[in-house]
Amino acid sequence: MLKLALIGCGRSVTVGHAPALTALPDRYQVVAIADRSPEALASVGMLLGIAPEHRYADYRDLLLREDIEVVDITVPNAFRHDIAAAFLSVGVHLITERPLALSLHDAEDLLKLAEMHGKLITVMHYLLYYPPFAEGLRLVRAGQIGEPFFIRCEGVSGGFGAGTETYHPAWQENIDIAGGGVWLESGYHSAYLCSELMNSPVISVTARIGSYQNDDGVDDTATALCTHENNGISSIQAAWSVPSGGRRVFEIYGSEGSIVYDHDGYTLGIFSNKTQSWHHPEITLERAGSFIGIYRALADCLQYGAIPPVSHRDALHTQRIITAGYRASENDTVEGVEIE
């Protein structure tokens, strides 16, 4: 059983991390939690059954403990790098919300630090474990739709999910804390999903990213065109600027068929070019399953030597896509994305 400490007790913990950890009592033991908010500490402490003496107001106190094998970092973006560096330096594995750091330079430094100390960083690419996406990924890798060549990904809404009231529910629109807006938050998920579902990394990005309804300095509307190594194209649109909302779209088109999410009332539709027919597999929808899946995969990696759920290369590649998108929008260019 892996001994885990949780740093940050906000909304993502109550809706995702804590339910997943509770569902895997044979894989993880949460031995301590930390948060600067007494109310959040008390709430999550009760949720996870953490005794008051193992609840910390300052995460640095956890560095003195010798029983922690994995630290789970769920604090807002601007604070993540320093915490990650501190725990890697004392030899602790990390699981962390995305992005790993606010700058590409800092993210690269953290990955070098992890390699230096022989530790693993798992960034929360949890949508890869959301049952419909997991099934789509399995189908693509099995060659069900041939060679993917075009992906449409669109998510338009009126705003972001609010953070906990005990800290700063609107921190995602504070540029000093968030570091970016919808392209960094929502675009990040789209970027890694497109890379995996195309079964090919992104090699260049052109984008238009701006703020149309937000006066606080973060972008609320983004559209990007990504070219993949296999010459495929992914079109990504993300927005927090549309109160009416919009239809969510995720479609993968291949040489022999298509995979379409939310198709005609079904969670997933698969079209065969050969038979000119649709198939709709039954998929159980469990939101917490996304978090459970990535936590289980991490435990399999650390305990049994399985493949990491998200490799260093995958996390860094996604951050390079996001950085390239911002740079392309600012400079009106097509920006290359390095592949390791």
Q: Give the tens place of pLDDT for each residue, 258-286.
A: 999 999 989 999 999 999 999 999 887 76
Last residue of a domain, one of 70, 104, 123: 123
Residue 234 pairs with which residues in a beta bridge?
A: 151, 226
CA angle 323-326-331, nearest 5°?
120
Strands of 55-56's sheet in order across:
55-56, 28-34, 2-7, 70-73, 93-96, 121-123
pLDDT at 283: 87
Kindly indicate the confidence band of residue 319, based on its pLDDT and cuts at 50, 70 and 90: very high
Does 206 reside within a domain? yes
Is 210:221 a contact under the CB 8 Å cutoff?
yes
Does 146 reside within a domain? yes
Both 75 and 189 in one domain: the answer is: no
Q: How far apart are CA 279 and CA 296, in angstroms?
A: 30
Kindly indicate the confidence band of residue 163, based on its pLDDT and cuts at 50, 70 and 90: low
Question: Which whole number is the average pLDDT over 302-309?
Answer: 96
pLDDT digits (tens, 9 = 90+) for 42-88: 999 999 999 999 999 999 999 999 999 999 999 999 999 999 999 99
For residue 275, the domain's CATH number is 3.30.360.10
Residue 81 structural domain? 2-123
Q: How far apart are CA 281 and CA 289, in angstroms?
A: 18
- pLDDT at 20 exceeding the cut of 90: yes
pLDDT digits (tens, 9 = 90+) for 126-135: 999 999 999 9
Does 298 reside within a domain? no
- Average pLDDT over all residues of the chain: 94
Question: Which whole number is the average pLDDT over 307-315?
Answer: 91
Last residue of a domain, one of 71, 96, 123: 123
Closest by CA to 150, choosing from 276, 223, 236, is 236
Both 119 and 142 in one domain: the answer is: no
100-104, 155-159, 173-177: which is most confident = 100-104
Both 255 and 324 in one domain: the answer is: yes
Does 286 reside within a domain? yes
Last residue of a domain, one of 123, 150, 173: 123
Q: How far apart are CA 108 and CA 198, in angstroms?
A: 25
E strand spans, 134-201: 148-156
Does 302 reside within a domain? no
Kindly indicate the confidence band of residue 215, based on its pLDDT and cuts at 50, 70 and 90: confident
**Higher model confidence: residue 158 or residue 165?**
158
Both 143 and 283 in one domain: the answer is: yes
pLDDT digits (tens, 9 = 90+) for 83-115: 999 999 999 999 999 999 999 999 999 999 999
Both 197 and 224 in one domain: the answer is: yes
Both 284 and 329 in one domain: the answer is: yes
- Ranges 207-221, 252-266, 277-291: which has the least confidence: 277-291
Is 190:153 a contact under the CB 8 Å cutoff?
yes
Does 142 reside within a domain? yes
Both 82 and 143 in one domain: the answer is: no
pTM: 0.95
Is 6:31 a contact under the CB 8 Å cutoff?
no
Both 119 and 144 in one domain: the answer is: no
* Residue in this structure with the two tokens 């939690």, named with its chain if needed: 33
Both 146 and 240 in one domain: the answer is: yes
Does 300 reside within a domain? no
For residue 74, the domain's CATH number is 3.40.50.720
Both 214 and 327 in one domain: the answer is: yes
- pLDDT at 164 exceeding the cut of 70: no
Kindly indicate the confidence band of residue 246, based on its pLDDT and cuts at 50, 70 and 90: confident
Does 50 reside within a domain? yes
Both 312 and 202 in one domain: the answer is: yes
Is 318:187 a contact under the CB 8 Å cutoff?
no
- pLDDT at 318 exceeding the cut of 90: yes
Question: Tokens in use for 41?
Answer: 């500490």
Both 102 and 159 in one domain: the answer is: no
pLDDT at 117: 95
Kindly indicate the confidence band of residue 288, based on its pLDDT and cuts at 50, 70 and 90: low
Q: What is the DSSP string of 186-217?
A: HHHHHHHHHHHHHTS-EEEEEEEEE-SS--SS
Is 120:93 a contact under the CB 8 Å cutoff?
yes
- pLDDT at 159 exceeding the cut of 80: no
Phi, psi of 213 (to 5 degrees): -125, 0
Question: Which whole number is the average pLDDT over 176-203?
Answer: 96
- pLDDT at 252 exceeding the cut of 80: yes
In the chain, the number of structural domains is: 2
Helix (H, G, I), strand (E, B) or coil at 266: strand
